Amino acid sequence: MPDFPQESTRTDSAPKERAPTEIPLRASLELGVIGNGSVAALIDREARIVWCCLPRFDADASFCSLLSPTRGGGDWVIELEDLERTEQFYLVNTAVLVTRLFDHHGGAIEITDFAPRYRSYGRLYHPEMLVRRVAPLSGSPRIRVRMRPLCDYGARVAQTTSGCNHIRYLLSDVVQRLTSDVATPLIERGLAFGLDRPAHFVFGPDETLNDNVADFVHLALERTLDYWREWVRYLSVPYEWQAAVIRAAITLKLCQYEATGAIVAALTTSIPESGGTVRNWDYRYCWLRDAAFTVRALNRLGATRTMEEYIRFAFNLVASKELTELGPVFGITFESELPERQVDTLQGYRGMGPVRVGNDAWRQRQNDVYGSVVLASAQLFFDCRLEHRGDEVTFRRLERMGTMALRMAEQTDAGLWEYRGRVAVHTYSAAMCWAACDRLAHIATELGLDDRARYWHEEAVQLHARIEARAWNEELGHFVDAYDGEHLDASLLLLADIGFVEASDPRFIATVDAIGAALGRGDYLFRYLAPDDFGAPETSFNICTFWYIEALAATGRKERARAMFEHMLKQRNALGLLSEDIAPASGEHWGNYPQTYSMVGLIQAAMRLSRRWEDAL
């Protein structure tokens, strides 16, 4: 078999007496992700697929063992008898994951997992399909294949029918077919067998696989590797920390739903923000803000197609002429209502419920969304590399965001932290509405629309003055989180990034210092500390730590920023991924996973801190 280059060879040498299902505390989110823009799956260190929603990111979780189904199952296991230790890594610059399992007797197998994504017949081939290849490496390994998808979020076992070389699974929203060169009774009954040659598994749409399954897997793997390596090749990566940035960029790409351009905040639901809390939310939807952060990060790397697809998604949302206000979060196929409910058939991550499906944030007003869409779209009008640049028609569509921003800028909202029990005129929301007006003025100037440029410039200047007057607290000596307020939150670190103030402005420097003193815990930063609807936060918020790192660098404290950044790189799991939150005392990962916010923060901090290629070579 080909000796593909690997990205990491970090090893988990488990004590022999430890049960394979027991996971050390720090390693609880040691999960890899594979995907292709249609489907994504999370895979643990023993190559168990523990989370996958079919036929799309926000559908029923057919593989849901990550959230402890009450009836058991909900996974796809390739089990090696007498397992002793494992190794896991990505093939360099790809979304192809390799797991090696070693037994006590010198036997070993290698499992290669991927979701096909490549160009075929002039279009992108990215079906709702997971592909697995299991190959013997040494000795006489014996394996067992356990295929146990569930339906209705763990409520019932999937019905099956089988043929000579396939098994059909009747799932909640789709029928999937497993095609393999392993005899179907061995899979259906979970029987152990000796692995003396590679075995192949294709779990995809209920269609006959016309090719020999081994040939299909081999060709699909080669083409998928080629796709990802070509995609990475055109990224404008920084000189330093290239592998970390590339892994973050690939992960962000896996969180975009190709059919509509929507970008989910994370691939999971209900991984709590800290242990024993009810801060369990469903992140499998498209927050316009989170998606805009993702777009801006990938734009900085030159991956502009994500921006074009996201803008297509956003413009579809505002197509109605009657629209006067935009919600903060949508389903990945434009659903505007996402009713939240609890699922009793899943006990939760490590038994920590409740498990929620849907997210009532759709009912909230979060006024920063208008600026988020405009800022994510602005490069469309200035980047000469784009085949379809923004024009006057596109600008007129975007102006609707500005009109709504002006109307909503100084109205109360839930803010970007989505408070469920209080509202205020949040400084960040108002500043993002200003940013919408400011960028529209620049875009209009670029298009030669002088009257519109003057209009948006004047509106931006006036709004800016009003925000400054109400968001600066002279007595405290720093900006505050809301009009006439007294508190701090980490979003104030972005005021320089969006151009509301200069990084050299003494008011911004004072605000950065105040945030570090109030919200910092060692090398971590909390988003806020004031108790909210569910009490005081217990974990740091990864993107806030990265925002603080960027703010330190922007205000001339690069050595401290670099030290904090290097520390955050060490907090990633063995595969280079991050969840939403970290417990400062233990370094344990919490929150939904993989978190786009966190990977965005890593990319942007690396881009700011890295030495320039010109200076390094």
| For the chain, percent of residues with pLDDT exceeding 90 | 88
Closest by CA to 327, choosing from 376, 271, 367, is 367
Contacts of 565 (CB under 8 A, 6+ apart): 546, 549, 605, 606, 609
Pair 342, 266: CB distance under 8 Å: no
Instruction: For strands 108-114 and 130-138, give the pairing.
Output: antiparallel
The yes-or-no verdict on residue 19 having pLDDT over 70 is no
Question: What percent of the residues of the chain are helix, what percent strand, and what percent coil, each to the nearest 5?
Answer: 35, 20, 45
Q: Is the pLDDT of residue 24 over 60?
A: no
Mean pLDDT throughout 133-157? 97
What is the dihedral angle through the alpha carbons of 112, 114, 119, 125, rounded to the nearest 10 degrees? 140
Q: Band the pLDDT of 16: cuts 50, 70, 90.
A: very low
Extract the tokens encoding 484: 């006439």
With cut-offs at 50, 70 and 90, classify the pLDDT of residue 591. Answer: very high
45-69 average pLDDT score: 97
CB atoms inside a 10 Å sphere around CB 562: 17
Q: What are phi and psi of 450, to 5 degrees?
A: -65, -40
Nearest to 202 by CA among 81, 39, 83, 51: 39
The pLDDT of residue 5: 63
What mean pLDDT comes out for the span 137-156?
97
* Tens of pLDDT, residues 307-353: 999 999 999 998 876 778 999 999 999 999 999 999 999 999 999 99
Q: What is the pLDDT averaged over residues 216-221?
A: 98
At 1 the pLDDT is 43
What does the alpha-carbon distance between residue 406 and residue 434 come to, in Å, rounded to a whole number? 8
Q: What is the pLDDT of residues 519-554, one digit of tens each?
A: 999 999 999 987 777 777 889 999 999 999 999 999
Quote the tokens at residue 233. 């090749």
DSSP designation for 256? B
Residue 614: predicted pLDDT: 84
Q: Output phi, psi for 500, to 5 deg.
A: -70, -40
* 3 state DSSP class of 471: helix
pLDDT band at 504 (very low <50, low <70, confident <90, very high): very high
Record the tokens describing residue 351, joined without a space. Answer: 């038994």
Q: Tell me the pLDDT band of 225, cut-offs 50, 70 and 90.
A: very high
Query: CA 4, CA 217: separation in Å to the nearest integer?
Result: 15
pLDDT confidence tier of residue 211, bands split at 50, 70 and 90: confident
Which residue, 257, 251, 241, 178, is CA-closest to 609?
241
Mapping DSSP to helix (H, G, I), strand (E, B) and coil, where does residue 524 land?
A: strand
Residue 547 CA to residue 540 CA, distance in Å, equals 12
Task: Count the Cβ atoms, other than its own, within 10 Å of residue 156.
Answer: 12
**What is the per-residue pLDDT for 4?**
54
Give tens-digit pLDDT for 276-292. Answer: 888 899 999 999 999 99
- For 91, the token pair is 């093939």
Cα four-point dihedral sign 57, 68, 162, 83: positive
> Is the predicted pLDDT of residue 23 greater than 90, yes or no?
no
The answer on pLDDT for 10 being more than 70 is no
Task: Please say if the pLDDT value at position 17 is more than 80.
Answer: no
Q: What is the 3-state secondary structure (H, E, C) of 56-110?
A: CCCCCEEECHHHCECCCCCEEEEEECCEEEEEEEEECCCCCEEEEEEECCCCEEE
Q: Looking at residue 380, what DSSP letter applies? A: G
Query: String of b and e for 191-204 (b: at least 16 CB within 10 Å)?
Result: eeeebeebbbbbbb
What is the tens place of the pLDDT at every residue in 465-490? Answer: 999 999 999 999 999 999 999 999 99
The closest alpha carbon to 88, from 171, 30, 155, belongs to 30
More confident residue, 210 or 19: 210
The pLDDT tens digits of the residues spanning 362-400 come to: 999 999 999 999 999 999 999 998 888 999 999 999 999
Strand partners, 590: 581
**Residue keyed to tokens 């029923």:** 60
- 212 C-beta neighbours (distance < 10 Å), count: 11
pLDDT, averaged across the chain: 93
Look up tokens 């007003």; give the residue: 365
Q: How confident is the model at residue 22 (pLDDT cuts 50, 70, 90)?
A: very low
